Structure 1
Amino acid sequence: MKHRFIAKRYWNAVTTPMGKVADFIREHDDIINLSLGDPDFTTHEKVIQLAFEDAKNGYTHYTDSLGDMELRQEIIRFCKDVYNYETSLNEIMVVVGACHGMHLVLEAILDDGDEVIVPEPYFTPYKSQIELSRGKCVTLETYEEEGFQINVEKLKSLITNRTKAIIINTPNNPTGACYSKTTLESIANVAIENDILVIADDIYGAFSFKEPFVPISSFEGMKERTITIGSFSKDYAMTGWRIGYVMAPSYIIDCIRDINEGITYSAPSISQRAALYAMRMRNIITPPMVEEYKKRAYYAYERIKGISKLSVLEPRGTFYMFVNIKETGLNSAEFCQRLLEEAHVLAIPGNAFGKSGEGYIRIACTVDVDQLKTAFDRIESMEIFRK
């Protein structure tokens, strides 16, 4: 990427495996894509219809820079009804998807050199988002044998006088882990004792299979130090609408609103109207999707258990499986390349999610069971599993 007209800070940038997905897909016409977490459900027809009607009726202008008033009020109702959590209009800002929200938050809270602790394996963009905001990403490795839970003693050992925040993502992408209530309580205690923020990436909150999701912001003493990133992409199959929200203390919301004035000013008005209707219809839209993804995840789990040299933890949440491939003798990139060439199945190498992801691959169960069956039939026929 080196070029005299490209900023030097990007000269050594490397395209991530997720960024190369489109190139791989173009090479074959029978690829089964288990790589990206884009739901195969289409946004509910009624949501599309109502948003389209609003567009025809004039909702095509800028909204308030904090977001559509009705949508923010609906988010308040959602938090109260689902989590018994109280928030207010001046503590919510609608953003252009969760990644946009994370960027604004990191820009708002980080001084040059401030540290953000990120449990690893992690959602790939976290590290670059922190570095683009002039911060330092400090990784906290989690391990399969511990259920990818956060080891609180290790967390404590990473805290310095430059630590500003810890990012938590539960249910987790890529591992599918769900942090236990005990883990969350311990994280909350560490945050309070060390006066640091928690950035809670809660976009998979609906996809907790074993126990109901509980936001860390609802724990005693945590509302004033939690920044919640929310999204409509997964819960409502609205990835293309690019719509999400940030919940935080009002002084942080004021700051990110000011930052965003020079970026997008406001989220798309039509997308906000669609999000409003989706949230109002959440009891119709979300449960059937969650049940379907749970069925797919357990199907994948049983198939993986039946393939020699592969293993995976029982599904806890999300629609991702973080598959252990260490017994194959291949590294993550080599395995994914063989998977593509021999089985025409596309997955993401585990090292895309940090160095501790080496020895794993991530598959997304965002195709139906029939396609998953075809994919695993192909995988079982690979030469490495027939030896």
Structure 2
Amino acid sequence: MKHKFIAKRYWKDQSTAMGKSDEMAKSFDDCINLSLGDPDLITDRLIIDKSYEDARIGHTKYTDFRGDPELREEICKYYKEEYDMEVKDEEVFVSASACLGMYLALEAIIDDGDEVILQAPYFTPYPQQVELARGIPVELPTLEEEDFQINVERLEGLITERTKALVINSPSNPTGNCLTTETMEKIAVIAEKYDLVVISDDIYTAFSYEHPFVPFATMPGMRERTIILNSFSKNFTMTGWRVGNIIAPDYIIKTIQQINENVVFTAPSISQRAAIYALRHRKEIQPAMVEEYRSRMFYAAERINQIPTMHVIYPPKGSFYLFINIKDTGLTSTEVTEEILKEAHVLMLPGNAFGNCGEGYMRIACTVGTDKLKEAFDRIAEMKLFRR
């Protein structure tokens, strides 16, 4: 909005498709909302009850500036038990969400004018987060015909003397793709060759269906140049608790702590207690939740591939998003999503919201039950646009 009291850098409309989706969902009383990655399931009762008990006995104050020491200890244990990866306490910071964690990481490492390469299609806030840190976002396209893997030759061609960092995301939002170990090893070679920091957005680690998740930081030589972002939002259906964590070399963590003290001081104490119990009881909490989303993903992918002029990679590899190819319609991503909302009352996000290379696609989030997914695709299948 252009106004004399608004900073000029915000005069240009920077709202995202995700930000607008809430209002669009209210367009119709019977709208099926597949736009946002906010799970319909609620946080496991065990986590709620345990954190409530802790609140009752006094865990309602500021925590340590790097996060509750008990939670930091659980995070270190988690990485050792799951990935045989040694993480020191001084390498851990608890943030009020991974979104804030991304901003803190960028603010800590970016100088004015530094370039940050973004694996695209990307999570929509990335470019603006880079710009908030006074950096320059650079889109690195990944392609469906290449299984949405990062093409290292294309990556190397984007690197300049101002390139400081690369952001990767696997399992990916929005494509659902998972980077292979072979791809990550090649990225590691490039990162070392050009002295890059790699920010690894590891939000969907529990939702890796084809192969167990492997942290990029475990690639040879990458431990000292990787910043890991993690969150409890999706792995434990805790979106509203707003708690995540950062793992990075201790000098980066120290800088992040200093920045955060001037932003939110500490992450919410109750949310941190909830995160402790989430990690401790993950073996009993996660399997049923992950299987539910896996089932939805496979059902939705099968239905999509039965509808003319749209298709998606099968089988789904990770996350709970599907990136649907609608190029055969001859329409733009925005045109198709608008038609689907208008005629079928199903809300999806246009692929170009996730970068230029997302044009010709739509993203859906399988955050409603299979019955609702069935209803959504039954409606879409009746549209003239998708009938031969």
Q: Which TM class, normalised by the smaller chain length?
A: over 0.9
1:109 is aligned to 109
2:323 is aligned to 322
Q: Name the CA distance, whole Å, in 1 between partners of 2:320 and 2:387.
A: 28
User: 1:284-329 CA deviation, whole Å, 9 max, x = no partner?
Assistant: 1111111111111110111011100001111110010000111112
Q: Name the CA distance, whole Å, in 1 between partners of 2:245 and 2:14.
A: 29
Q: Name the CA distance, whole Å, in 2 between partners of 1:346 and 1:284.
A: 33
1:205 is aligned to 205
Q: Name the CA distance, whole Å, in 1 between partners of 2:68 and 2:14.
A: 37
Alignment of 1:1-387 (within 5 A): 1-314=1-314, 315-387=316-388
Secondary structure of the corresponding residue to residue 204 of structure 1: coil
Residues 178, 318 of structure 2: 8 Å contact kept: yes
Residues 37, 365 of structure 2: 8 Å contact kept: yes
Q: Name the CA distance, whole Å, in 1 between partners of 2:88 and 2:180.
A: 27
Aligned residue type for 1:211: H
Residues 308, 387 of structure 2: 8 Å contact kept: no
User: 1:66-107 CA deviation, whole Å, 9 max, x = no partner?
Assistant: 000000000000000000000111000000100100000000
Residues 171, 202 of structure 2: 8 Å contact kept: yes
Q: Name the CA distance, whole Å, in 2 between partners of 1:39 and 1:85.
A: 29
Secondary structure of the corresponding residue to residue 100 of structure 1: helix
Superposed displacement of residue 131, structure 1:
0.6
Q: Name the CA distance, whole Å, in 2 between partners of 1:83 and 1:13.
A: 42
Bigger drift between 197-206 and 14-23 goes to 14-23
Q: Name the CA distance, whole Å, in 1 between partners of 2:129 and 2:216.
A: 22
Superposed displacement of residue 205, structure 1:
1.0
Secondary structure of the corresponding residue to residue 200 of structure 1: strand
Contiguous gaps of at least 5 residues in structure 1: none
Superposed displacement of residue 14, structure 1:
2.8
Secondary structure of the corresponding residue to residue 164 of structure 1: strand
Q: Name the CA distance, whole Å, in 2 between partners of 1:266 and 1:101.
A: 12
Aligned residue type for 2:376: A
Superposed displacement of residue 221, structure 1:
1.0
User: 1:27-64 CA deviation, whole Å, 9 max, x = no partner?
Assistant: 22211110001111100001101101111111000000
Q: Name the CA distance, whole Å, in 2 between partners of 1:113 and 1:360.
A: 31
Q: Name the CA distance, whole Å, in 2 between partners of 1:25 and 1:233.
A: 22
Q: Name the CA distance, whole Å, in 2 between partners of 1:30 and 1:105.
A: 41
Q: Name the CA distance, whole Å, in 2 between partners of 1:342 and 1:187.
A: 43
Aligned residue type for 1:232: F
RMSD: 0.8
Contiguous gaps of at least 5 residues in structure 2: none
Q: Name the CA distance, whole Å, in 2 between partners of 1:14 and 1:184.
A: 32
User: 1:204-240 CA deviation, whole Å, 9 max, x = no partner?
Assistant: 1111110111001112211100000000000100000
Identity of aligned residues (%): 57
Secondary structure of the corresponding residue to residue 27 of structure 1: coil
Moved over 2 A (4+): none
Superposed displacement of residue 331, structure 1:
0.7
Aligned residue type for 1:162: R
Superposed displacement of residue 21, structure 1:
1.1
Q: Name the CA distance, whole Å, in 2 between partners of 1:76 and 1:14.
A: 38
Aligned residue type for 2:384: E
User: 1:1-24 CA deviation, whole Å, 9 max, x = no partner?
Assistant: 111111000001332111111111
Q: Name the CA distance, whole Å, in 1 between partners of 2:58 and 2:384.
A: 59
TM-score by length of 1: 0.99
Secondary structure of the corresponding residue to residue 312 of structure 1: coil
Aligned residue type for 1:124: T
Bigger drift between 10-19 and 133-142 goes to 10-19
Superposed displacement of residue 380, structure 1:
0.2
Superposed displacement of residue 386, structure 1:
2.8
Secondary structure of the corresponding residue to residue 117 of structure 2: strand
Q: Name the CA distance, whole Å, in 2 between partners of 1:139 and 1:16.
A: 17
Aligned residue type for 2:280: R
